[in-house]
Homo-oligomer: A and B are copies of this chain.
C-alpha cells in the first residue's frame, strides 16, 4: 500500500497555495514555530522562494492560512473552498472524538447530565475539537494570538465565535446577552486550550522516553519549589495539579462557565446547574 508518497523528491503536481499551506502545517507540526522557514519550505516543495511568493504574499499570510486551515478542520467547517471530498491534507483534524460527550467522566457536578445533542453538549464538542487540534498542533495558540493582533477580523475568530454562538442562542439566552455569553465561552476555551498547548509543547522538549506523567510530575515539583512565603496558594494546589487530568479539567471549566450563563441569563430554570432549555 502506498496511498500517498512522502516528501516528493521531484514535484509532480503543480505548486498551489493549498500545497504550500499543507507543507507549512507539516513543518510547523514537526519542528514548531521556528521550523517554518522559506528555505525549509522550498526544499520540501522542490522550488525556489520566488515560486512560493507567487502564491503567498509573505510569511505572515502563510502563517495565517496555516492557522485558519487547522482551525477550520477542527470545527468541521469547509475551509473556504469545497476541495475534493476525500480528506486531502494528512494533518487535518479528525474531530471525531469530540462528537461524544466527555472524556472520562461527565464532570464534577452532581447533575445527571443533559440529553445528548443538547446545546451544552454541542458546545463541549466544539471546545474539545479545538482542544484536540491544539494538542496536535501546539504552535496554534501562539499563531492565533499573532493573527489576532494582526487583524482581529481575521477568519479564525469569526469561525469559532459562530460555532459557539449558535449554541448559546439555542440555549435560550436572551438576545441582549448573546455577545457576553459567547465571548466568555470563547475566551475561556482559547485561554484554557492555550495553556494546555503550552504544557504539550513543553513536554515535547523533554526526551521522548519521558512520558507525560513524569513531565507533569516535574512541573508540579517546580511549582512546589516556589517560595512558600510568596506563593502559599500554589503550594497548596501543587498536589492537586499533579493529579489532574487535562481534559477533565478543561471540561469542568466549560461547565463552570455554562453554569454561570444558565444562572445569570436563564433565571427560568430552577437551581442554576446547566440543563437544557424548556
Q: Is the interface of A mostly helix, strand, loop or mixed?
A: helix
Q: Report B-chain residues with C-beta under 8 Å of the C-beta of A197.
A: 149
Q: Report B-chain residues with C-beta under 8 Å of the C-beta of A151.
A: 202
Q: Which of A189-236 contact B (CB under 8 A)?
A: 189-192, 194-195, 197-199, 201-202, 219, 222-223, 226, 230-234, 236
Known: A153-B223, A231-B162. A259 touches B253 (CB 8 A): no
A156 → chain B closest CB, angstroms: 11
User: In the complex, A256→B179 CA distance in Å?
Assistant: 13
A151 → chain B closest CB, angstroms: 6
Cβ-neighbour of A234 out of B146, B162, B201, B222 (below 8 A) = B162
Q: Which of A23-31, A62-70, A260-268 faces chain B?
A: A260-268
Q: Report B-chain residues with C-beta under 8 Å of the C-beta of A38.
A: none
User: In the complex, A230→B79 CA distance in Å?
Assistant: 12
User: In the complex, A182→B145 CA distance in Å?
Assistant: 22
Q: Which of A45-53, A89-97, A237-245 faces chain B?
A: A237-245
Cβ-neighbour of A150 out of B162, B183, B202 (below 8 A) = B202
A36 → chain B closest CB, angstroms: 15
Is A99 engaged at the interface, CB distance under 8 Å to the other chain? no
Q: Report B-chain residues with C-beta under 8 Å of the C-beta of A240.
A: 175-176, 178-179
Known: A158-B226, A257-B257. A184 touches B188 (CB 8 A): yes
Q: Report B-chain residues with C-beta under 8 Å of the C-beta of A191.
A: 186-192, 194
Report whether A234 and B165 are in contact in the complex, using a CB–CB cutoff of 8 Å.
Answer: yes
Report whether A198 and B145 are in contact in the complex, using a CB–CB cutoff of 8 Å.
Answer: yes
Cβ-neighbour of A263 out of B146, B161, B179, B273 (below 8 A) = B273
Report whether B234 and A152 are in contact in the complex, using a CB–CB cutoff of 8 Å.
Answer: no
User: In the complex, A252→B230 CA distance in Å?
Assistant: 30
Is A44 engaged at the interface, CB distance under 8 Å to the other chain? no
Question: What residues make up the interface of A, taking CB atoms closer than 8 Å to B?
Answer: 33, 77, 108-109, 138-139, 141-142, 145-146, 148-153, 157-158, 161-162, 165-166, 169, 175-184, 186-192, 194-195, 197-199, 201-202, 219, 222-223, 226, 230-234, 236-237, 240-241, 244, 249, 252-253, 255-261, 263-264, 271-273
